[in-house]
Structures are given as C-alpha cells and as structure tokens.
C-alpha cells in the first residue's frame, strides 16, 4: 500500500526563481514520486514549471518589463498599464484558495513571493535566491521581508550562498541556512562536439534568453567581436554562442543586419586579418560553459552558473529591460573580481573598443584566470542545492529516508 500523498505549493516571482524551483521539484519527484506539487509563477508564463507538467494554479501573463520594473520605475508604469495590479490580485486569490489543501508552501524570490506565502497564514519555506549579503557586505532586511522571514510560520530560510546565511544568523534569523543555486546541479556537460581547438582560448557568448532583448544583446556581442579581432588575430581566439532556440531561428536575419554571413549555425565575418567565426548552439549551454575560458555575459543566472565553475565574465551593458548598467553593476558587486563591467550606460562604439582591449588583456592573464577558478566555487559554495532543499522539505513533511529513492548528486 502506497503512503498517503503530500502536497507542496511553489510560489516564485521571476524567471530565474521559476528555474530554481523547477530543479527542486524535479529532484523531489525523483526522491518521492508520490508527492503532489503545484506552482504559482508571479512573473511571466512559468515555462520552467510547464516543462515539467507542474499544474499552475492561477493566471499568468508576460509584462512589458519582463519582471525587471525594479531596475527602472518607468517600466513599472508600463506594467501597471498592462494590468499588473489586477493580475497580482487574481494570483493572490488563487494562492489563498489553494493553500489550505497544501501541507507546505515554498516561496522562492524576494519580497513579493515571500509576502504571498506569509499572507496565507500557513507554514512556508523561504528561499531568497535573488538576495545576497555579498552585494553590500550585509543584507539590508527591510521591514516587510524582515517580518516574513522572522514569522513563526516561516519554517526555514534558504540562501543562495554561505556568506548570506551567516549574515542572517548574525542578524538574529537563526533558522537561516545555506541552500545554494539549484540550477548548478544540472550543469553537467553532455559531450556535445563544439568543434574546438584545444590550444586556443574559447570565449562564450551569453546574450540572455528573453526576446526581443536577447536578439539585441547578441547583435551587440557580434559588434564587440568585430572589435576584438582588431586587437587579436582570429586564429588566437574562438567564439561559441549559447542561444535559446528562438534566437537560433533568427540567425540569418541577425547576421545580415550586422554584416555577417550565416550558414547552418555558423556566423562568419571577413576582416583584414582573416575570417572570424562564431559557432552557435541552442542545445549546448552546459558544454559551452564548462569549456570556455571567458564569458561575454549579458544575462543573470547563466553568468552566475559560469562564475560558480570558475569562469570570469566581461559585461557590456545593453538597452534592457534586464541587462542594463544598473543590473550589470549589481551583478559585479555580487560576483566580485571575477566580473568586469565596461561602460556606464548602453554600449557605445568606444565602450566596445574598451571591452575588446579588456578581453585581450584578460585572456593573457593566467594568474587572474586561475584566481577566478578558485574564487568562483568559494563564493557560491558547493553544488547540491536541489538535494539539500528537497531533503529538508521531505523531512518537514515527515517522509522517512527509507521511503525515498536513493538520489545521488554528482559534482561537476
């Protein structure tokens, strides 16, 4: 006779937060297939949940800001005009209606998701995956999130890095503990043939995943490559782009607009020094990160993952809505010396020339590259977040170890 099922509701307010929660769900179901899960993604369509066929309990909608209205308050106005208040109210009502049927709630994100969980009056686990004491040296807990994290209904507080867990405990939130970044657990190379020359450094292009911003970012990165090969020979560096499928579908148009040639995932550009090429993949993200020497990053979570593998990043601000100077600057404070941000606004030709010099200098600095390899893993802590968090959730639900499948975690 099978054990009675337990139910967890996952609430998240961001695309990265959806990803974190979906990886935890995947591990939970591997450990305990009888578990029932449901989700309420507050930002966007919740595609990470839909990929796993996780039921979504309320309405979802993509907003003009892409969930980044906190970076630019003007974008908040565009979201309000698009119906943000009404959407949020309907989502909150859905959570209130569903919560009584759950044995536990897990809220991933910042004030909004934690506030949703707190408002139910039922036990919840907080995973503040987007907050870190590394930004300022101490996490500034405002009155709202402080109330949510200190609530007796908050069972525990998971953090993305060990430093933040220690900082919260010093601030009196003794239930804080290191969780980690669940997406790192899935960052295993697949053996994809990237057609690499093992003797030449490889630069990874990470333009992000949200359209149309990812297309704009990738065009900017192609312009940066044109500048890089003015200070480095095309034979001394190789480029691989990790793109989402929708960007892959637009490669021909993107190449034509920037003066490049496109043929079956390969972009080429003629220079006075020879031909430079960028090989593009829609299914080789992990392989590209593991094999690169340096990242050209215009993304959030993808850059975090690369840093955790010890790969430094050079960032050039774009037009947004996500990857602006404000976002890049905050990312630099989080990552530390493994990140270099060039420019203080949307990239200009001068920004790209400066960034090209920075790429050439960084690739030649073996001491810096070695230092990043050490600092990356130390900054984010050991992998295994999905298993750590899943075991805690199942333990809280009273599911015994002998009822669990033996899920092993293999470090990259």
pLDDT digits (tens, 9 = 90+) for 24-34: 999 999 999 99
> Minimal CA–CA distance to 390: which of 18, 27, 4, 105?
27
Q: Is 240 helix (H, G, I), strand (E, B) or coil?
A: strand
169 plus 212 within the same structural domain: no
> Minimal CA–CA distance to 68: which of 326, 313, 303?
326
For residues 262-281, b (16+ Cβ closer than 10 Å) or e, as one string? beeeebebeeeeeebbbbbb
| Residue 385 confidence class, pLDDT cut points 50, 70, 90 | very high
pLDDT digits (tens, 9 = 90+) for 36-48: 999 999 988 888 9
Q: What's the residue count for the chain? A: 412
320 plus 339 within the same structural domain: yes
301 plus 372 within the same structural domain: yes
Average pLDDT, the chain: 88
330 plus 394 within the same structural domain: no
Q: How far apart are the first and last CA of the chain?
A: 38
Q: Would you state the structure tokens that stand for residue 116, as one six-digit string?
A: 């949703």
181 plus 208 within the same structural domain: no
pLDDT at position 363 over 80: yes
CB-CB contact of 9 with 119 (8 Å): no
The CATH number of whichever domain residue 172 belongs to comes to 3.40.50.2000
> Minimal CA–CA distance to 284: which of 265, 310, 299, 312?
265
162 plus 116 within the same structural domain: yes
pLDDT of residue 71: 45
Q: How many domains does the chain have?
A: 2
Is the pTM higher than 0.85? The answer reads: no
11 plus 120 within the same structural domain: yes
pLDDT at position 276 over 70: yes
Phi-psi region of 195 (alpha: psi -120 to 50; beta: other; left: phi over 0): left
Average pLDDT rounded to a whole number, residues 320-342: 82
Between 329 and 394, residue with greater pLDDT:
394
pLDDT at position 406 over 90: no
Residue 410, domain member (yes or no): no
374 plus 399 within the same structural domain: no
User: DSSP characters for 46-112?
Assistant: -HHHHHTT--B-S--B--TTTT-TTT-HHHHHHHHHTTHHHHHHHHHHHHHHHGGG-SEEEEESSHH
343 plus 225 within the same structural domain: yes
pLDDT digits (tens, 9 = 90+) for 83-140: 578 888 999 999 999 999 999 999 999 899 999 999 999 999 999 998 988 887 899 8
CB-CB contact of 153 with 123 (8 Å): yes
| Residue 80 confidence class, pLDDT cut points 50, 70, 90 | low
Range of the structural domain that residue 353 is part of: 202-379
Which regions of 193-237 does DSSP assign to beta strands (E)?
202-206
74 plus 110 within the same structural domain: yes
């Amino acid at each position: 006779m099978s054990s009675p099922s337990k139910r967890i509701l996952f609430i998240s307010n961001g695309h990265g937060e959806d990803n974190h929660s979906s990886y935890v769900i995947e591990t939970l179901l591997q450990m305990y297939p009888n578990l029932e899960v449901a989700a309420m993604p507050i930002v966007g369509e919740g595609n990470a949940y839909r990929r796993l066929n996780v039921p979504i309990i309320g309405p979802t909608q993509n907003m003009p800001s892409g969930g980044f209205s906190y970076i630019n308050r003007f974008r908040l106005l565009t979201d309000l005009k698009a119906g943000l208040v009404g959407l949020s109210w309907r989502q909150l009502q859905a959570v209130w209606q569903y919560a009584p049927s759950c044995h536990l709630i897990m809220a991933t994100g910042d004030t909004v998701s934690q506030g949703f969980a707190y408002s139910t009056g039922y036990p919840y686990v907080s995973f503040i995956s987007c907050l870190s004491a590394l930004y300022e040296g101490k996490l500034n807990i405002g009155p709202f999130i402080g109330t949510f994290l200190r609530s007796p209904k908050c069972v525990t507080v998971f953090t993305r890095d060990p430093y933040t867990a220690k900082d919260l405990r010093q601030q009196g939130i003794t239930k804080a503990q290191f969780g980690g970044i669940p997406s790192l657990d899935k960052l295993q190379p697949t053996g994809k043939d990237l057609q690499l020359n093992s003797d030449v450094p490889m630069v990874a292009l990470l333009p992000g995943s949200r359209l149309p911003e990812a297309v704009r970012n990738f065009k900017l990165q192609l312009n940066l490559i044109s500048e890089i090969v003015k200070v480095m020979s095309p034979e001394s560096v190789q480029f691989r782009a990790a793109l989402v499928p929708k960007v892959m579908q637009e490669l021909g148009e993107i190449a034509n607009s920037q003066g490049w040639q496109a043929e079956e995932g390969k972009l080429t550009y003629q220079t006075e020094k020879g031909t430079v090429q960028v090989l593009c993949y829609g299914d080789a993200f992990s392989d590209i990160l593991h094999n690169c020497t340096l990242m050209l990053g215009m993304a959030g979570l993808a850059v975090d993952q690369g840093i955790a593998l010890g790969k430094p990043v050079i960032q050039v601000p774009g037009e947004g809505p996500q990857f602006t100077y404000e976002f890049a600057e905050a990312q630099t404070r989080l990552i530390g010396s493994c990140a270099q941000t060039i420019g203080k606004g949307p990239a200009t030709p001068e920004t790209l020339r400066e960034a090209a010099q920075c790429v050439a200098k960084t690739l030649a600095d073996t001491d810096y590259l070695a230092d990043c390899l050490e600092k990356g893993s130390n900054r984010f802590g050991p992998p295994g977040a999905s298993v750590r968090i899943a075991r805690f959730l199942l333990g809280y639900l009273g599911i015994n170890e002998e009822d669990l499948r033996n899920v092993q975690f293999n470090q990259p």
